[in-house]
Amino acid sequence: MKQYIEFKKQREMGQILSDTFAFLRNDFKSFFTTFFKLVGPYLVAMIICYGFYLYQTGDFIQRNDALSSSMGVPFLFFTVTLAFLIALITSYIMAQATTIFYIKSYIKNEGNIDFDEIKQNVYDSFWKFIGLGFLVAICAGFGFLFCLIPGIYVYVPLSLSFCLLAFENKGVSDAFSDSFKLVKDYWWITFASLFVVGIIVMVTGYAFALPGTIYNYAKMGILSGEIDVENFGVADPISIALGSMSIFAQFLLNIISVVAGVLIYFDLNEKKNFTGTYERIKNLGRTFEE
């Protein structure tokens, strides 16, 4: 029998990290079966678009006179890039929504999940997640554009706004504004937790990207000291395959950040509102009555 992970409780940073991996390990089969059923088609579309994007990027770089001689190549490059961006955004939104609503169903059913309920919640909330995602991206983007510190400051609470949207059934504007209230007085510990998780995900992602980087360097002759300019930007089947494997791995690694974000949300919610404590007291009272 798998261990039930209690989400609605306070945690230290170390517990957030350990419970993130414990949840994914204990629910590995159930979670990823649900995940790939809902996200799989979008993920496949994203990887295919990414392969075309790499190929068209190499082709575009090789044709230095493309802009002056023909508009066909730039137009095709723009179309492929746009398709890749749409597929990327859709896949990440679906992945985030699926992960969060899986956890919501997991909590509601005390360790079990309802696939139909998760599916309905994901599709019903898709455009809310899209809208909130663009709002978060614009605010954080402007913050990073003008100065690094404002960008970091707004990103910390806004990264948890999706949890407010899902677990508290808030609208986009309420989830956006209430995320700052949630993090108030706990900004530094929230930042530290997100930073540590981000470092783990980033370093692991670099490890998966390393084979493709080494191959491309070897192909261009950088490792041997004889640089082949003609091969710069050329995307062959091997580099496309390695690049696709890398983005697939980094996509899955993002799940770690989402699960950790949910644990951080419940930690802050418990410190502010004691929701989980009240529920446990209420359930304890029902047990005595029975």
- Indicate left, alpha or beta for 185 from its phi (over 0: left) and psi (-120 to 50: alpha): left
Q: Which of 32-46, 70-84, 131-145, 197-211 is least confident? A: 70-84
Phi, psi of 107 (to 5 degrees): -70, -45
Distance CA 115, CA 285 (A): 31
Q: Which of 66-80, 95-109, 233-247 is least confident? A: 66-80
The residues, ordered by sequence, that sit 6+ positions from 273 with a Cβ below 8 Å of its Cβ are none
Which pLDDT score is estimated for 231? 54
Distance CA 192, CA 108 (A): 29
Other C-beta atoms lying within 10 Å of the C-beta of residue 109: 11
Distance CA 49, CA 83 (A): 7
Locate 22 and state its tokens: 């414990």
Which pLDDT score is estimated for 142? 86
Residue 70 has pLDDT above 80, yes or no: no
Locate 232 and state its tokens: 């710069």
As a 3-state breakdown, the chain gives helix, strand, coil percent values, each rounded to 5, of 85, 0, 15
Locate 192 and state its tokens: 């530290």
Locate 195 and state its tokens: 């930073």
Q: Are 16 and 193 in contact (CB under 8 A)?
A: yes
Distance CA 6, CA 135 (A): 31
Q: Residue 109: beta bridge partners?
A: 112
Q: What percent of the chain has pLDDT over 90?
A: 61
Which pLDDT score is estimated for 12? 92
Of 70, 90, 53, nearest to 233 by C-alpha is 53
